[in-house]
A and B are shown apart, each in its own frame.
Chain A
């Protein structure tokens, strides 16, 4: 046997354990690291009327938040403005929307937010409700 093939064989044999070790170690050490571990939801409550936000849901179009659905409880009927705001992790307002209409009891409203923003940028969701002055 000539020395060149023998040389290649020896090198391959010597390196094989290292290669297998590297693959095993790489696979075993994969761990999941969430990009942004914290998300905050702020539920507004109108203490004067008792109207309150009870559920907030982000609705996606692709990866963007297009609308926000809120469930409210309104014990005193009247005209209420509902606002939703989306913030990034630095506290910058990314998108907002609002809806004003007559409300009473438990209601679910879907509010358009503009502009559409990628959900992965949204760190804080704020929804609030307040009663508007009654018309005379």
Chain B
């Protein structure tokens, strides 16, 4: 009799826990019992291996395109944003790409075109899409 009561208590407790867990997952932003929100669990080292200015093969006078070579230690889809700064001209462009540990070449159109008349800075930002 005592064992049956104990058994009943455990089953009821376990059932209530499951119900509470399910309700929390269905109605709230709880991602794990005991935690809140989403947890990023996969850290990626994104590598920008090369950057080329402009669409011309040589004697680049206008930066209308930036060609990149990128890789990531974690394969997946990434948002690649490019910000170009030449003197007072600022341009940007973006694309979504699938990156992997093997280098991928991307061509990103930037707008507006910037004249390559002085030192140019290209900032590449890689995030989740």
Chain A positions near chain B (C-beta within 8 angstroms):
3-4, 6-7, 10-11, 14-15, 17-18, 21-22, 25-26, 29-45, 47, 52, 54-58, 60, 69, 71, 73, 75, 105-106, 119-120, 125, 128
Contact = CB atoms under 8 A, between A and B. Distances in A.
Interface in B53-67: 53-54, 57-60
Contact of B7 (A7, A39, A71, A125): A7
A73 B59 contact: yes
Interface of B: 3-4, 6-7, 10-11, 14-15, 17-18, 21-22, 25, 31-33, 38-54, 57-60, 69, 72, 74, 76, 78, 116-128
Contacts of B123: 38-41
B128 A33 contact: yes
A94 B51 CA distance: 20
B118 A10 contact: no
Given A36-B46, A37-B125, A57-B49, A29 B38 contact: yes
A34 B126 contact: yes
Contact of B10 (A10, A22, A30): A10
Contacts of A60: 49
Contact of B41 (A30, A37, A56, A105): A30
A55 B51 contact: yes
B120 A106 contact: no
A70 to B, nearest CB: 10
Given A21-B22, A39-B123, A55-B52, A119 B76 contact: no
